[in-house]
Each structure stands twice: as C-alpha cells, then as structure tokens.
Structure 1
Amino acid sequence: MGTRSTLRIAGIGLLCLTLGACAASYRNHGYIPPEDQLDQIVVGVDTRASVEDTVGPPGITGVVNGGGYYYVRSRVRSFGFRAPDEVERQVLAISFDNAGVVSNIESFGLQDGQVVPLTRRVTESAVSNKSFLRQLLGNIGRIGPTGLGG
C-alpha cells in the first residue's frame, strides 16, 4: 500500500466523521401515560388519589388549590451547531371539580400551543441617585411630634 491509498482511506474516514457529525440527535423529556392507562380513568368517578394510582403522579400540578394534573412530554432535535428545536410536544391535562373528582381529560399538541411573551415589570423607586447616608440624614428634619410615638 502506498501513501496515495493511505491518504485516500484517511480522506474517506474524515468524510465519514464529518457527515456523521451533521446527523440530527433527538432528546426526549417528560412522560405521558399510555392510552390503555388513560382509558381506565372515568370522568365523574375517579379522584386525585385514584388517578395517581392509575397513571402515576403528575409532572406539574395546577397553581390554584384544586388545580388540575398536567403530564408533559417533548422531543427536541439538535442538529450540528444550530440551536435545539422542539419538534414535538404533548400535554395531557386532567381537570378536577371542587370535590376532587375528575371533570375533564384533554390532550394538546405543539400545534395547539401559543407562545407567551414574558414581560419584565420593574417598579420604579422613589430614590433618585441618593446615597444611603444622604437618605438617612435627609429624614431627620421631617420627623414631627406625632412621628416619635408619643
């Protein structure tokens, strides 16, 4: 074997490694109960405890007392140097009434979702570029007889 065939094999190996690095990789996150387990839940009969016994504890619960159970599963694709992209998302929402009995079971996909823009709300303070010592000493003349606790 000559140097020419060695270079050719090395070039083919480098090409295979380069093409292999460009393959998409997938990452799964979360859990959605299978259909056969969901079929065992009866609306109007099952309670929070029986739902947890049947399909397991939820990944997320509602914020308000008596809120629903949410099971979320997503699949993310990473491709080379690009930012990861969510290609699949499923959300299973189990709602309960005030007595803790199942009132509804809904399923949502990525196509049903909406992007919620996060806003940053900053409360303005009444302090305007004054040092702590200046703020402290500035209040000395403002204390009246009623402010002394008498």
Structure 2
Amino acid sequence: MINTAALLFRGLVVGVALLALGGCAATYRNSGYVPSEADLAEITVGIDDRSSVEDQVGRPVSQGVIADRAWYFVGTRWEYFAYRAPQPIDRQVVAISFDEGGTVQNIERFSLADGEVISLNRRVTDSNIEGVSLIRQLLGNIGNFDAGNFLN
C-alpha cells in the first residue's frame, strides 16, 4: 500500500531541491546600446556629419564634455549570481569623434579588456599627523603664536 504522506514528503523534497538548484543559476542583463559593426560600416569618416550619424545609428546617451566633439555609445552585459553583487562580464564602448565642423573624424571600439579601473572620487581625507606623537605636536607649535591673538 502506498503511503500518501510519504509521497507528498518526497514531492516536497524534490520541489525544494529543484528550486534551490534553479536559484543557483546565474542570470544576465544587458544595459545600454552599442551600434553593430554593420551599422558602423555605413558611416564614412570624413564624409558623414552628426545628422547623418544620428540617422544611421541614433543619438547616444553620453557625449563629449568639451564642445560636443565625441559621441559615446556604451553597452554592458551584467552577471547576477545568488547573493553576490552584479559583475560586468562584457562592456563595449563605441566612440565617434567629430572635428570642429561636425564631420566624423574617427570611430573607435573599446571593450572591457581595454579599460583601466579609475578612482573618480575616493572621498578619503589623508591625515597628515600619522606617526606624530602628542609631544612632537605640542613642541611643533612653539614659536607659532601671534601676540595679536592674545590682545583680543
């Protein structure tokens, strides 16, 4: 005779095991936009200008800071795995630079392997008193007094 409670328990164990295994699989997400090689091949350096580039590949989200001399298309593929922070596994950057007249000057493609990690803002204040004892600080102030400060 088949025990229904045992079958229910086995089914529950198998279901939890499948959920646990499914939760351990990495998931991926793409963000941003990078034009394809075919789209970039239609842009002619020295001939096309901003408006024709916009018609062929669209406008980017990022532009050059100084005088709109470059357009940057950035696309990133992120890996999400369990409890860890998302990791970029692929990043493509296409830079289209323009001359003063707005004509395409250069088209470059960079990947995550080409990049360097740059600390844009560390928000760390270095203490200049490390390794200086209290007595040395007090003795360092001798002679730095101004008599005008005592008169007020």
Which segments of structure 1 move beyond 4 Å, counting only runs of 4 or more? Answer: none
Inter-partner Cα distance in structure 2 for 1:45 and 1:99: 11
Q: Percent identity?
A: 46
Taking structure 2 as the reference length, what is the TM-score of the superposition?
0.76
The 5-angstrom pairing of residues 60-139 of structure 1 reads 60-117=62-119, 118-120=121-123
Inter-partner Cα distance in structure 1 for 2:77 and 2:92: 9
User: Could you say which residue in structure 1 is the equivalent of 2:53?
Assistant: 51
Distance 1:121 1:101, change over 3 A: farther
Q: Secondary structure at the match of 1:57?
A: coil
* Deviation (angstroms), 1:66: 3.4
User: Could you say which residue in structure 1 is the equivalent of 2:33?
Assistant: 31
* Deviation (angstroms), 1:121: 7.6
Question: Is 1:94–1:106's contact at 8 Å kept on the other side of the alignment?
Answer: yes
Inter-partner Cα distance in structure 2 for 1:62 and 1:121: 28
Q: Secondary structure at the match of 2:65?
A: coil
Q: Which runs of 5+ in 1 are unaligned?
A: 123-150
Letter in 2 for 1:53: D
Taking structure 1 as the reference length, what is the TM-score of the superposition?
0.77
Distance 1:13 1:50, change over 3 A: same
Inter-partner Cα distance in structure 2 for 1:14 and 1:37: 47
Aligned residues: 123
Q: Secondary structure at the match of 1:72?
A: strand
Q: Which runs of 5+ in 2 are unaligned?
A: 126-152
CA RMSD of aligned residues (A): 1.6
Inter-partner Cα distance in structure 2 for 1:31 and 1:10: 43
Question: Is 2:70–2:96's contact at 8 Å kept on the other side of the alignment?
Answer: yes
Question: Is 1:26–1:78's contact at 8 Å kept on the other side of the alignment?
Answer: yes
* Deviation (angstroms), 1:120: 3.2
Matched, 1:6 2:47: no
Letter in 2 for 1:110: L
